[in-house]
Structure 1
């Protein structure tokens, strides 16, 4: 805004030049480019997220660990991936829960996937596994985080059918898609049965680097590396029963290899059915937070001419446009994909007097192609165009 009310502070004759900012607030799109793995180890400091750059680096820093095979699986699928290991103080459910709840700071640790494969592989009691999954979900849903928990099915000797996986997955719920469940385990090149979450996280992050975070972490284009089979051969008819319930199956498809063939969350809401919907919204929300928090609008006077409202609205619109232009929001035109409201219509006097300004942002994340329906019509000779027009 023009400088007018500060002139009485300048009492000496002369010219005064000041620098200020105006226009849109510059924005950097938030990242979703890492994975946090919670497990136990022989050495290392507990409850301290530590980046490891390879399986060898992990062993050097943490020694022997039940999570070693999961770490190897992660780097087999993303050799230069960003992986943080969080050592739990022990191997009980309480130890894993404590590490999940007391190791992270939203101001320090960027958005990413949270996995705890050791807990789901080694905890024989369903109640214990549920405790860990709930802690993961609650953490990911927590203010300032907006992460996604990738939960493995239970021990392969216990959960070895799709029916058992469906029963187990019913224990894990999420209102807005912050948790996804995967079955079965995979068999690595040394014949170890390994929980799939590390591979799923790595494949997702690899695809985000190539195609962007709007893409689902599944499909034959990104087969699982470093494995030769699945612990349970899930048939299409079996997957048809459990897929609608959010059991994401890994399958060994002829000519394709082992692939992640499901990308649903454990949310009952149709608005949060797919993992990539959650990722898109998480990245968008984090981008808005950082831009507005660091943009200098907090503790600004709210003018009655709409200058501040306009600056906030246009800054948010610029971010939303980048998401639409990048293929994360659905619509033929920007107005079909998003709408931002920040004016007196949603900022009544009672809120303004209390120091509150509201911004309402309506967005339509891109949907996921999960099932492709192709219809073939048999028509008579010389009737193709006529039949096509009639249909």
Structure 2
């Protein structure tokens, strides 16, 4: 701050440099949307490993392809994912919040929702249900919908209550919850039914339990009776007479999803379905694994909605091939029915074949979106987002076969249509052998035909958008413009040194312009500062042509 001199002597003042370092955003945070065995509904939950997915969402499940795609993502180099679990609602109507989310699952405090909340239908009835438990007069329910809750058991005990005053007067007790499917235990000690007690049972379960919630509007007046000890010939949880089981078949997984569960009425306004991702600060790649019985999604409507949503969020959509693409001719004919051409999406063909551990490792077909997103993430880390995620380095881990073997001539028919092929190459195995967006059809002659060009532009846009927030409300004159040129120029030059642009010199690779030519007086009067950033993107070498020529031998003279 400025110094006010009051005495004769030397004063030291630090002068701000005006440098505000712009940090590049992540490029490979991948969002997955679909059904899961368990977990919060219509919430964007951040996970950092497949172990997190198993713990929160239950891992692989025969009734959903979501878990397989997430597994492939981490097998192929993915690091961070956002999971949105959906359940089917009749008529796809809007939904209102209810209790049901376990704590510490990737939700940020500014999302306007208390910890421990999920979604159940208000206008359309949810077909999935939460398991119910009546624990000696204490009415509980599973933390979220699904048949997983039918495996819950609960015990009430009075032992080891550590309090200063009388336990009966404070109505204290202990709750132990067992999930028989995973053998996980939760223990909550010294909880009470008194409304003003600091360990009030409903609040403790809401904020600390992954398994159960209190479902009555009001607390009981008396603490629940303690369960009896098991007989000598049985273990604690094997004696069903000495603990409370969930009511039989009270929890249900619900019906298969339909397009209305993603983009139905009021979904966007309520941040549900596809639009639950608006609760996430940032995601870069979107995957929607098949959710219909025939192994597809609603290509005629959901693809366009998802691509448009990605455009708004500066993200990229990976489209899986339909099940009826069983050869290259069906792929050529079907590409016209895969939504409108857009540079914010790409389609990959064919599907992959893998052993299914839930069916004794029988070989089955799966969609490739998770594995491809993992390769995107791996390439971004190793080479940069400007490198095409394709070629001999883009190997697919955990993919022993492809559903349709393709030859070079067949690949040559599909590539000009913007269909990216997965190939089997000798010595390299299964690789991604194409890097075009849906605007990559040669007949469109679009400047955004290549995936790395589009994704690099999205990276620049998001990084510069976040890195220039400081300029809002600053005095709109040359000192501000100079700072903008300095900070943006430093960021772009760093990328130039990393090899992100064409050109041997900075002036050939990029420019940043912000001065009185871009911002005229009328713009200043309107409160606008205009910044123009240009860059020369790297284009992938799709076709490497070797020209070989014979030369005549040396002729003696």
Structure 2 match to 1:151: 319
Once the two structures are TM-superposed, the CA of residue 71 in structure 1 deviates from its matched residue by: 2.0
Partners in 1 of 2:273 and 2:551 — Cα distance?
A: 61
- Pairing of 1:148-297 with structure 2 (within 5 A): 148-155=316-323, 158-170=324-336, 171-175=338-342, 177-189=343-355, 190=361, 191-267=363-439, 268-293=444-469, 296-297=470-471
Q: Tell me, what secondary structure is at the counterpart of 2:290?
A: helix
- Is the CA contact (8 Å cut-off) linking 1:96 and 1:119 kept in structure 2? no
Partners in 1 of 2:435 and 2:331 — Cα distance?
A: 15
Once the two structures are TM-superposed, the CA of residue 119 in structure 1 deviates from its matched residue by: 3.8
Relative distance call for 1:212 and 1:218 in structure 2 (3 A) is: same
Once the two structures are TM-superposed, the CA of residue 173 in structure 1 deviates from its matched residue by: 3.4
- Is the CA contact (8 Å cut-off) linking 2:75 and 2:397 kept in structure 1? yes
Partners in 1 of 2:425 and 2:27 — Cα distance?
A: 29
Structure 2 match to 1:83: 81
Q: Tell me, what secondary structure is at the counterpart of 1:30?
A: coil
Partners in 1 of 2:406 and 2:259 — Cα distance?
A: 29
TM-score, reference length from structure 2: 0.61
Structure 2 match to 1:355: 527
Q: Deviations over 1:28-73 (max 9, x none)?
A: 1111132111111232122212234444542332233332222222
Structure 1 match to 2:275: 102
- Is the CA contact (8 Å cut-off) linking 1:119 and 1:132 kept in structure 2? no
Once structures 1 and 2 are overlaid, which stretch shifts more, 160-169 or 284-293? Answer: 160-169
Structure 2 match to 1:132: 302
Once the two structures are TM-superposed, the CA of residue 277 in structure 1 deviates from its matched residue by: 0.6
Please tell me whether Structure 1 or Structure 2 has the larger radius of gyration of its CA atoms: 2
Once the two structures are TM-superposed, the CA of residue 167 in structure 1 deviates from its matched residue by: 3.0
Q: Deviations over 1:12-34 (max 9, x none)?
A: 96799876633332111111132
Structure 1 match to 2:222: none
> Which has more helix, going by share of residues?
1
Structure 2 match to 1:298: 472
Partners in 2 of 1:335 and 1:361 — Cα distance?
A: 12
Give unpaired runs (5+ residues) of structure 2.
Answer: 89-256, 356-360
Once the two structures are TM-superposed, the CA of residue 274 in structure 1 deviates from its matched residue by: 1.0
- Is the CA contact (8 Å cut-off) linking 1:100 and 1:139 kept in structure 2? no
Partners in 2 of 1:298 and 1:109 — Cα distance?
A: 20
Q: Deviations over 1:281-316 (max 9, x none)?
A: 1111111111111xx32111123xx22211111211
Once the two structures are TM-superposed, the CA of residue 105 in structure 1 deviates from its matched residue by: 2.8
Relative distance call for 1:289 and 1:374 in structure 2 (3 A) is: same
Once the two structures are TM-superposed, the CA of residue 172 in structure 1 deviates from its matched residue by: 2.8
Once the two structures are TM-superposed, the CA of residue 369 in structure 1 deviates from its matched residue by: 1.2
Partners in 2 of 1:17 and 1:297 — Cα distance?
A: 28
Once structures 1 and 2 are overlaid, which stretch shifts more, 245-254 or 55-64? Answer: 55-64
Partners in 1 of 2:474 and 2:512 — Cα distance?
A: 20
In the alignment, structure 1 residue 39 sits paired with structure 2 residue 38: no
Once the two structures are TM-superposed, the CA of residue 327 in structure 1 deviates from its matched residue by: 1.4
In the alignment, structure 1 residue 24 sits paired with structure 2 residue 23: no
Partners in 1 of 2:12 and 2:334 — Cα distance?
A: 67
Q: Tell me, what secondary structure is at the counterpart of 1:84?
A: strand
Partners in 1 of 2:7 and 2:460 — Cα distance?
A: 47
Q: Deviations over 1:247-294 (max 9, x none)?
A: 01111122221111111101145321111111111111111111111x
- Is the CA contact (8 Å cut-off) linking 1:76 and 1:226 kept in structure 2? yes
- Is the CA contact (8 Å cut-off) linking 1:183 and 1:248 kept in structure 2? yes
Q: Tell me, what secondary structure is at the counterpart of 2:468?
A: helix
